[in-house]
Amino acid sequence: MSSEQPRTGQCLCGSVRITAEPKNSHFGACHCSQCRKWGGGPLLAAECEDRVSFDGESHIATYASSEWAERGFCKNCGTHLFYRLKGQPFYAIPVGVFDDGQPWEFADQVFIDNKPPYYSFANTTKNLTEAQVFAQFSGDASTES
């Protein structure tokens, strides 16, 4: 259960409004090649499980980026709205979509072994490799650290 209050936000053009309850005030960076291609850099997002609602859903398009996940964006302005795991209560909402005013803490980085050498964050975070991420979602704790 989330201890966070709902946060609100919208796409660039205002056609889609989001209300979400993040698990906490943390956000993470995903360095996988798909996230980097999607946004031109790492995806900075907050995990919201399935506590997300949208106004303006007719303006949302989705792209099935894999067998297990899809990405949503505004049809009008192209704003990235979410990364969602199919069949699991998992939404990652880009932190930049949320309205300003509430603090965030940069807490973790995933697919750290896929991060290219041309950028680096100074923050101290928990870092997971691609194998560790897949193990975490498959329930195989033997490869987690």
Mean pLDDT of 85-90: 92
State the CATH number of the domain containing residue 117.
2.170.150.70
Residue 46, in any domain of the structure? yes
- Domain of residue 59, residue span: 7-138
Per-residue exposure over 10-21, b if at least 16 CB sit within 10 Å of its own CB, e if not: bbeeebbbbebb
Residue 2, in any domain of the structure? no
pLDDT tens-digit map of 49-79:
999 999 999 999 999 999 999 999 999 999 9
Confidence grade of residue 145 (pLDDT, cut at 50, 70, 90):
very low
pLDDT at 3 over 70: no
Mean pLDDT of 81-105: 93
Most distant CA atoms of the chain, gap in Å: 45
pLDDT at 132: 96
Residue 143, in any domain of the structure? no
pLDDT at 111: 97
pLDDT at 137 over 90: no
Record the pTM.
Answer: 0.89
Q: What is the mean pLDDT of the chain?
A: 92
Best CA proximity match to 70, nearest among 53, 58, 81, 86: 86
Residue 109, in any domain of the structure? yes
Residue 58, in any domain of the structure? yes
Distance in angstroms (rounded) separating the CA atoms of residues 45 and 27: 5
Name the domain count of the chain: 1
